Amino acid sequence: MVQTPSMAHPLLAKIHDPAAVIGVIGPGYVALPLAMEFVHADFRATSDDVSQRVMNVLMAGRSHITDILHQVVQEAIAAGLRVATVVASRIGEYDAISSAVPTPRSRTRDPDLTAVPAAASAATWPRRACDIRRGSD
């Protein structure tokens, strides 16, 4: 049986390299540590959010998550974590995207999933990434 190449082969090769560029949307208590782990595993990771306030805090090398020390954020940035804002398109640079957005409970105790489609559409919004290690695009 002949195996046909799939779109997964180039990504798998990058993962084993690891040259894959990972976009992590919603750097909260789940996704921010995930982005940091990608960096520690030598992947190129970019974390972004729709909140300019959150991005400003991270770009300043501070944590907005009480369980994550400012020093840990600074070390991740020094190791290569990039922080982006939702302003100019870089979606084409990502080989994979992980999204972890809040799903609070509604008044009826059902999960409020409105952030999920918003994050999915954010992945196609124009964005501008800022490499804060060098302070340039």
Please give the pLDDT value at position 91: 65
**At residue 36, what are phi and psi to the nearest 5 degrees?**
-65, -40
Higher pLDDT, 135 or 49: 49
What pLDDT, in 10s, does the model give residues 9-29? 777 887 787 778 888 888 888
| Alpha-carbon span 47 to 118, nearest angstrom | 16
What residues contact 16, with CB distance under 8 A and at least 6 apart?
none
What pLDDT, in 10s, does the model give residues 70-122? 999 999 888 888 876 553 456 667 788 888 877 777 788 887 777 777 666 66
- Domain boundaries defined on the chain: 19-130
What residue type is 44 in one-letter code? Answer: R
| Alpha-carbon span 135 to 122, nearest angstrom | 23
CATH fold of 19-130, please?
A: Rossmann fold (3.40.50)
What pLDDT, in 10s, does the model give residues 32-84? 889 888 888 888 888 887 788 888 899 899 999 888 899 999 998 888 888 76
Please give the pLDDT value at position 63: 92
Please give the pLDDT value at position 16: 81
